Structure 1
Amino acid sequence: MKFDDVLKKIGEFGTYQKVLYVVVCLPAINCGILMLISVFALGVPKHRCAIPGYDNDTYDACSILVNETIPLSNDPDLKYNACYIFPMNVSNYDNYSYPINATSHKCDKWVYDKSEFEETLTTEFNLVCEDAKVTKQTVIKTLFFAGFLVGSIGFGFLSDRFGRKNTLHSSFMLVVMSGITIYWVKSVTLYIILRFLVGAACAGIFLTSYVIGMEMVGPSKRLWAGTLIHTFFAIGHVTLAGMAYFVRDWRNLELYAAIPNIVYLAYYWLIPESPRWLLANGRREEAECVLRKAAKINGVRLQNGRFLDRYNENEDSGKVWHLFRSRVMTIRTLVIFFNWLVVALVYYGLSLSANKLGINVYLDFLLLSLCEFPACALCILLFNRIGRKKLHMMFMGVGGLACIGTVISKEYGDNNAAIALSLIGKTGAAGAFASIYVYSAELFPTTVRNSGIGASSCAARLGAMAAPIIADINGLLNTEREDWTMVIFGSASLAAGILTLLLPETVNRALPETIEDAERFTMMYVHEEQMRLLER
């Protein structure tokens, strides 16, 4: 008797599992907040050089002195240059009080527009102009996702070694300590270190919560459960938009995002250890106690005595490198890895580029966040109707074309169309993120499924690390064109969608148990289709 058979006996998704699932999904809301808080904490408001000797200078100040001191900007959205200033000893001015034949130089003090942000890390530490404006912010965002990668690997190991419950509690402790400490940072370096730790903690929280929830769900309900957790993540993004709108100081915003995680420390006493993990580690009596409690709450009556005596789970014996033993599996695995990388790249890249939609950063971010709900709904509605492969290709193809379409729209000056296409692109990325979880899990054979998903997740983290770089690529390349980011996102999505043609469909099919089964998967599919045609 395997564990899935046990779940069928006690109820695949009864009252017990539903309550447990919601409870472990709630932290995903906080992860959603912390994952993208840099959109607001590192916000770059409009700015210009401060006039030397005038301590009460503000960005909105309009005077002859400003015209005499600050060069005009080449940016059509700005009146004054953001990084250069004229010397104070200029003697010749034109009729508009602008210096004649004066040479500007870089400044070291700025005044900022307070209409969108009261204070951000960028304004407090003056991370503006040339290298400071893009490079340091890009490094901060990239290293956060590097922390997520390290956390995925580290907490994944701890989860298998010491249990899901202990790992989840450790992750909560880390996010509380590092998140709250950010409030008192006095340097950018310390902020980077703490955000790295927050990223690692978020990985431990989200992935461990996902595992705890999914390990108690029966096989026929995992499609729903695997998709719905993404809606909790999206709720976090929507919540962040509201929080940031009302809390416009970056220190307070970071603090308010970290404090609620204290509540989750109570999970150590509220949620059980995963019975699947307990069985894998020889703790059968504890597992039976958890499962009997679940059955009782589900209204299922079990036989007296130890009903797990006939339990005999064949543990995964394969390693991730077994996926590269043949040409068929090598190509299939690389295509899956590439899809995970691209999905994360586009998903986080579009989210981090929220300020580029052109409305305002709060509404832009909210609209992009709301796109995730219809994406998840489409997954649930269409997974079994059109199949995993076609649905994933649809998300990648439509999302990619929409990203490229924004460039064309902007070229013709249609900003409304560009906004709409950007939202479609984000919907495609969100839907692809939800679909690739399910699709790739079904493509990997049972013997290496855990290893395959773990490796795929690492590929996704690499894509997430690249997302801030691509999102800021216009500034890094020092180009005035603003379309490189969307072209890269769109092209990568289309490439990943086209490569998905090399993968077999998995809907309504027996999943592969071994590497050999997986290698024959495509041929089996062709044979099954031929048999269906003959039956007709």
Structure 2
Amino acid sequence: MTFTELLDRLGGTGRFQVLHVTLLVIPLLLTSTHNLLQNFSAAIPEHHCQIRLLGNDTHQHANRTLDPKTEEDLLWISIPKDQAGKLDKCRRFVTPQWHLLHSNATNANWTQADTEPCHDGWIYDRSIFTNTIIMEWDLVCNLRTRRQMAQSIYMGGVLVGALAFGSLADRFGRKSVLSWSYLQMAVAGLCTAFSPTFMTYCVFRFLVGMAYSGIILNCMSLVLEWVPTKVRTVAGTVVSYSATIGQIILAGLAYAFPDWRWLQFTASLPFFAFFLYSWWFSESARWLVLTGKSEKAVEVLKKVAQINGKKEEGEKLTTEVLKSNMQKEIALSDSSYTFVSLARTPTVRRISFCISSVWFATSFSYYGLVMDLQNFGFSIYLIQVAFGSIDIPAKLIAAIGMNYIGRRTTQALSVILAGLAILANIFVPHDLWTLRTSLAVLGKGCLASSFNCLYLYTGELFPTVIRLFSTLADRPGWDWAAPWLVWEA
């Protein structure tokens, strides 16, 4: 009898499994929002230089010009226009250009000699966002790359968290590391909301990224290790859709809290509650047995049997019975496997190269789309909802495709269609916003399908004993491409 068969005897998909998965999935709704939070907390509003005080110059030219008291007139004589006819974002006239007030005058022929940088700061359009880190720390013009740097630092935290919390989970258990990740997300998230400087903001966002990995990794492990094999696909789909719903929730939160500090605070505070109830979770019985804690594993399994209404079956369970059911897994755990195992044999080396390439391409394209919402010419909130909603049919189609036409075909079609949609956007004129957005949404949906395939396909292609290392190396939340991609986006 295998461990999966033992779970079936103790209730299979009973009350414990339903409650356990539900409590694990709820935090994922907000966890996924942190991954894309900077789309709103670091949104770039329309802006231009602070207008120079006119002083005596106004009186000197008042008798030969129109009255420049209106804001429109002041902007016209103070801020040059770019090639698109919009106010320049980074420069202003050295002196007011009074001649531009004449109806036949234009400021299209200004030169760098006539202008200067925004020495007195910037004026921001606060009609959509009342405050972002861009406004607060003036991350525009020569400091504009710091926005990408902040997101790259966050993704670096995601990568480091995957490596650190993955190892810690194997040493101290999934439950304890997951609880710590909830607490770190809550504390680091709130500290981010109260960051006094840009550097402290980046430091705490790095810690939030680490916590994100700890939550995703250990949540998935606890879900899959406590449900029978026959319902793992359903459980994995529920976890996947929680991230989708989280993207839609993010749009609502951002709309309700246009100030980045309140948005960050609201998305982080519930993790204190998640931390408190996480102590109810049951540690993975598999991990307990493989780390020599069979007695504790038996206690946990008896508790599960009691919740599932199978108390009599649970009473029959002993450490000897449990060990006999897991002899093969115990024997495999005695061997040593590292990341080198991913390239040890020609077959595994080929699988590792192909799977890693697909993970890289999918992740690179995914983050390139979802971190660039302001450039689609529509409401950023509607685009976020559209990007989240497209995952619902996309993941369903992927699941159906994997069952009927196979994993490889579904995987190939997903990445090919995503690539075609993104490439097609290169040839679409910039003024055709609807077509460009539609292609981007289609591409994002295909990338969601690709992710859905990759999670399952990666686990099935690799041998069980090295599956953990393949998961750490390839999973999209902490992929190697993401930190550098965001910097270039």
Give the TM-score taking structure 1 as reference length.
Answer: 0.81
One-letter amino acid of the counterpart of residue 75, structure 2: V
Moved more, 120-129 or 282-291: 282-291
2:145 is equivalent to residue 128 of structure 1 = no
Per the alignment, do residues 430 and 52 of structure 1 end up closer, same or farther by CA in structure 2, a change over 3 Å counting? same
The match for 1:161 is 171
CA shift for structure 1 position 247: 0.8
Deviations 1:324-379 (A, max 9, x none): 23333322211111111222222222111122222111111111111111122123
Distance 1:40 1:63 in 2: 29
Moved more, 381-390 or 143-152: 381-390
The match for 1:88 is 95
Moved more, 302-311 or 257-266: 302-311
CA shift for structure 1 position 420: 1.3
SS at 1:85's partner residue?
A: strand
Distance 2:74 2:467 in 1: 68
2:257 is equivalent to residue 239 of structure 1 = no
Give the TM-score taking structure 2 as reference length.
Answer: 0.89
One-letter amino acid of the counterpart of residue 408, structure 1: F
CA shift for structure 1 position 6: 2.1
User: Does structure 1 conserve the Cα–Cα contact (< 8 Å) formed by 2:368 and 2:486?
Assistant: yes
The match for 1:51 is 51
Moved more, 153-162 or 347-356: 347-356
The match for 2:368 is 349
The match for 1:436 is 454
Deviations 1:402-423 (A, max 9, x none): 1112222336x53322221111
User: Does structure 2 conserve the Cα–Cα contact (< 8 Å) formed by 1:340 and 1:460?
Assistant: no
Per the alignment, do residues 230 and 283 of structure 1 end up closer, same or farther by CA in structure 2, a change over 3 Å counting? same
Query: Which runs of structure 2 are paired with 1:193-232 in the superposition (5 Å)?
Result: 193-232=203-242
Which segments of 5 or more consecutive residues in structure 2 lack a partner in the other structure?
A: 56-69
Distance 1:289 1:333 in 2: 38
2:430 is equivalent to residue 421 of structure 1 = no
2:134 is equivalent to residue 116 of structure 1 = no
One-letter amino acid of the counterpart of residue 310, structure 1: S
Per the alignment, do residues 206 and 322 of structure 1 end up closer, same or farther by CA in structure 2, a change over 3 Å counting? closer
User: Does structure 2 conserve the Cα–Cα contact (< 8 Å) formed by 1:13 and 1:218?
Assistant: yes
CA shift for structure 1 position 117: 0.8
One-letter amino acid of the counterpart of residue 257, structure 1: A
SS at 1:308's partner residue?
A: helix
One-letter amino acid of the counterpart of residue 48, structure 1: H
CA shift for structure 1 position 272: 1.3
The match for 1:387 is 406
Distance 1:326 1:183 in 2: 48
Which segments of 5 or more consecutive residues in structure 1 lack a partner in the other structure?
A: 56-60, 472-536
- Taking only the aligned residue pairs, the percentage that are identical comes to 29
Distance 1:322 1:435 in 2: 23
The one of 331, 353, 367 equivalent to 2:350 is 331
- Number of equivalences: 461
SS at 1:105's partner residue?
A: strand
CA shift for structure 1 position 158: 1.2
SS at 1:409's partner residue?
A: coil
One-letter amino acid of the counterpart of residue 35, structure 2: M
2:73 is equivalent to residue 69 of structure 1 = no
Per the alignment, do residues 392 and 460 of structure 1 end up closer, same or farther by CA in structure 2, a change over 3 Å counting? farther
Moved more, 311-320 or 142-151: 311-320
The match for 2:8 is 8
Superposition CA RMSD, Å: 2.2
The match for 2:67 is none
Deviations 1:190-236 (A, max 9, x none): 10001000000111111111111111122222222223211111111
Per the alignment, do residues 93 and 237 of structure 1 end up closer, same or farther by CA in structure 2, a change over 3 Å counting? closer
SS at 1:81's partner residue?
A: coil
The match for 1:144 is 154
CA shift for structure 1 position 94: 6.3
